[in-house]
Amino acid sequence: MRLPVLAVALSLLTASGAALADRDVLWKIIDGGCVPGAATGQMPPPCTRVEMPAGREFGWAVMKDRRGVLQYLLLPTARIAGIESPELLKADTPNFFAQAWHARDLLDQLNGHPLPRDAVSLTLNPAHRRSQDQFHIHISCTRPELRARLLAAEADIPATWVPLPGGWLGHTWLVRRVDGDALDGVNPITDIAAHVPGAVDDMGAVGVGVVAMTFKDGRQGFVLMATHRDDDGSSGLAEHDVQDHDCALVKVESAARTPAGP
C-alpha cells in the first residue's frame, strides 16, 4: 500500500527545486519505504539502514542523500519535524547524533576504504534554514578551512561553551571541546538546550555542528558547534558552514598519502 507513496517521494527527491516545495518528501521516504522495506528485508533505495532498538517506541533510518559524493542522512522513524520539536529533549528519545556518528561506516563503504576520522562531521540545520520538515542529521565531510580554523583556535576551545573568536562565515558560533571516540555520552541537542543561553526557549533558531578532531595532546574527540540568533535575527546554516559535500578534505589527504611517481 505504501509503494506508490514511496515512488512519488523518490520522484520529488530527484526533481527540480520547485518540486521540492513538498517539505514532507523525506518523511514519505522513511514512512513509505525505509520502515516497511526493513520489515520485509527488501530495503528500497535510497534507504540504507533501519535500526529499531528493543524497548523503544521508535528508532532511526539512514539514507543516501541525493547531493554529495559522501553524504548520508539519519532520520527518526517517528514524525519529528526538526530541532524545535520538544520530543528531542525527552529522556527516552534516542541520541540521534551518537547514532549518526556510528553510521559513518557507510561513508567508508561508499568511499571504498576508511575515511580519516577527522574528515567527518555532522550537522543539523535551524528550522528557518531547512527545506524539509522531518528531522535529519547530515553525515558528511568537514570543510577543510573550518578544520584548519578549529585547529588554530584549539587553545581557545574549552570544555564549556564559548564564542569562537571572530565567528565563522559572518555568524556567531559557540564551541566546546568534547573528548572521546564517540558521542554516546553527550547529546549535542540536550547539551545546547541546557547550557547555551536563550537556546531552550528558541530551539528552532539553533544550528548544530559536530566536527571530529584529534587534538594537539593526541586525544581524539569533537568540537561541538552551535549557532543561534545574531543581533540581526539571522543564524548560520550549519550544513553550509560546517560541511563540504564534495569532500575536498578526503581528496587532499588521499593525495598526500599517494607516493610520488618516478
pLDDT of 15 reads 38
pLDDT given for residue 258 in this prediction = 44
- What pLDDT, on a 0 to 100 scale, did the predictor assign at position 234? 62
Whether a cis peptide bond, with omega within 30° of 0, leads into 46 is yes
Per-domain residue ranges of the chain: 51-257
Residues of the chain with pLDDT under 50: 1, 5, 7-8, 10-12, 14-19, 258-262
Residue 250 has a pLDDT of 85
pLDDT given at position 237: 84
pLDDT at position 16 is: 40
Superfamily, domain 51-257:
HIT family -  CDH-like (3.30.428.30)
Distances (CA, A) of 225 to 41, 59, 66, 114, 136: 37, 25, 25, 25, 17
* DSSP codes joined into one string, 41-71: T---TTEEEEE--TT-S--EEEEE-SSSTT-
What's the confidence (pLDDT) of residue 2?
52
